[in-house]
Amino acid sequence: MPEALQSESGWAYAPAPETTSITIEDRYGLFIDGRFVAPRSRRRFDSINPSNEETITSIGEAGEADVDRAVEAARKAFRTWSRTSPLVRAKYLYRIARRIQERARELAILETMDGGKPIRESRDVDVPLVAQHFFYHAGWCDKLKWAIPGNLDPRPVGVCAQVIPWNFPLMMAAWKIAPALACGNTVVLKPAETTSLTALRLAEIFDECELPPGVVNIITGAGETGRHLVEHPGVDKVAFTGSTQVGKRIATACAGTRKKVTLELGGKSPNIIFADAAIDQAIEGVVAGIWFNQGHVCCAGSRLFVEESIHDEFVRRLQHRMSKLRLGDPLDKNTDIGAINSRDQLEKINAYLDCGVEEGACLNHDSRQELPEKGFWCRPTFFTGVQPAARIAREEIFGPVLSVMTFRTPEEAIERANDSPYGLSAGIWTDKGSKAFEMASRLKAGIVWCNTFNKFDAASPFGGYKESGWGREGGRHGLAAYLK
């Protein structure tokens, strides 16, 4: 029995894996105009399970002709959907939300198999938030006149091209589709290449709920499919979540067109711990901030700023807490750290680990923690002694890797935290409300959490400053992006 699998008292750990007995077809087509169809491109690719490298199924790759077909279907559907009574639109969204709840277990298992995240997270965080987004937006359908001050005649934008990443596949689909439909738009959505399965399952749910054909179309494929989609002249709005690099390319491609664009991009968010904070809670906040979903979180608290006077004690406690995180089978209900989403992503993370060491920072992880033989794995890690100018302090790693730095005064904390091209989120830990308020108003971040981290709600707008993107998703602000 590996040491990491034993508790301190020496008791062996009993695995508690979730079953994988859900229906998965051998091959999937594209969901266009209310039906699953074979891709005209005749190309296919495999989706694999990153925790064991086994092929789960084969997926169709949409080429240019398939993108045309999907956009045409969405255009045709828009003519009736945009005029459908808001109360009827609300009924569809409500029905979809209920069906997601009914099929929650299956969705969570599939999300974990396809993407590598712990079942505890897909079951308790992702899927409930997905249902919540449909419920929340069902409520707005007939109240849009009151959603945006000054816009008494809110009208849908038209056909929305939506491209999403692999870190929260189903959640990102819900964040995009629910507000678009609530406002009377139609959608063509492209999930990420490595995590298309739950979006396809969502298509099945739309079909079960008898959503009219063409209102939502799901086309699978890689970056090239996404490029064809966002550049398609028949598209009225582009909603993209992904890397800043691709976001810039999309912004350039859409410049000079009539397309409305929202971009949710990368981040390198600060998590700031004052000496007066409740330290045990702050440690949990750091854990949630960087090790939730293996750090594949755009708003991850990946830069930790600790007040100098408590640095050594804080790091000691963090090391202790980190050594308790259980890494392994994502389908096991006790797993804290699942698999890295893909081999490519693991290579990127490993390159940053080497880079941090070369830059002179001190790498901390629990080397006793055994890694499974198959699959893509990275131990939860933090670097101490990080220079603010180091690459590991400035660039988004998008993995379970934290950079720890210090500050002496609130002024210095703000200056260091804001010294980043990104501005997605920030965390502040202090027992002084006035200090939290002052810090929150001066941090250049779209979301600021006080004495908590990574809290999401459909009613709360989410989005960034600077290179973290344009526009907001969720809440009333998120509706604005889908209305003329």
Contacts of 125 (CB under 8 A, 6+ apart): none
Q: How far is the CB of 464 from ligand NAP (least distance, A)?
A: 6
d(CA 311, CA 306): 6
Closer Cβ to ligand NAP, 238 or 283, answer by number: 238
Which residue has the closest beta carbon to Mg ion? 114
Catalytic residue among 61, 193, 264, 473: 264
Tell me if residue 264 is catalytic: yes
Contact between residue 169 and residue 192 where contact means Cβ atoms under 8 Å apart: yes
Q: What is the DSSP letter of 212?
A: P
Contacts of 312 (CB under 8 A, 6+ apart): none
269 touches, from Mg ion, ligand NAP, none (C-beta below 5 to 8 Å by class): none
Q: How far is the CB of 428 from ligand NAP (least distance, A)?
A: 20
Contact between residue 416 and residue 390 where contact means Cβ atoms under 8 Å apart: no
d(CA 163, CA 239): 6
Closer Cβ to Mg ion, 167 or 185, answer by number: 167
Residue in the structure block whose two tokens are 């063509």: 188
Please name the residue ranges forming H helices in 103-188: 104-115, 119-121, 127-140, 169-182
Q: What is the DSSP letter of 190?
A: E
Nearest Cα neighbor of 31 from 160, 158, 197, 259 is: 197
d(CA 101, CA 106): 10
Q: How far is the CB of 260 from ligand NAP (least distance, A)?
A: 16
Figure out which of the listed residues 95, 99, 133, 190 binds ligand NAP, where binding follows CB under 6 A: 190
114 touches, from Mg ion, ligand NAP, none (C-beta below 5 to 8 Å by class): Mg ion
Contacts of 17 (CB under 8 A, 6+ apart): 329, 331, 332, 333
Position 413, amino acid? A
Closer Cβ to Mg ion, 47 or 364, answer by number: 47
Figure out which of the listed residues 184, 295, 469, 475 binds ligand NAP, where binding follows CB under 6 A: 469
398 touches, from ligand NAP, Mg ion, none (C-beta below 5 to 8 Å by class): ligand NAP
Figure out which of the listed residues 67, 163, 199, 205 binds ligand NAP, where binding follows CB under 6 A: 163
Residue in the structure block whose two tokens are 């038209």: 158
97 touches, from Mg ion, ligand NAP, none (C-beta below 5 to 8 Å by class): none
Tell me if residue 53 is catalytic: no
Position 362, amino acid? C
* 222 touches ligand NAP by CB under 6 A: yes
282 touches, from ligand NAP, Mg ion, none (C-beta below 5 to 8 Å by class): none
**Mask 265-304, x = binds ligand NAP (CB under 6 A)?**
xxx------------------------------x------
Q: Which of residues 416-435 bind ligand NAP (CB under 6 A)?
A: 424
**Residues present in the chain in total:** 484
341 touches, from Mg ion, ligand NAP, none (C-beta below 5 to 8 Å by class): none
* 396 touches ligand NAP by CB under 6 A: yes
- If one counts every other C-beta atom within 10 angstroms of the C-beta of residue 334, the result is 15
Figure out which of the listed residues 167, 185, 406, 454 binds ligand NAP, where binding follows CB under 6 A: 167
Q: Is 87 helix (H, G, I), strand (E, B) or coil?
A: helix
Which spans of this chain sit near ligand NAP (rule: CB under 6 A)?
Answer: 163-167, 190, 192-193, 222-223, 226-227, 230, 241-243, 246, 249-250, 264-267, 298, 396, 398, 424, 464, 468-469
Catalytic residues, by residue number, are 264, 298
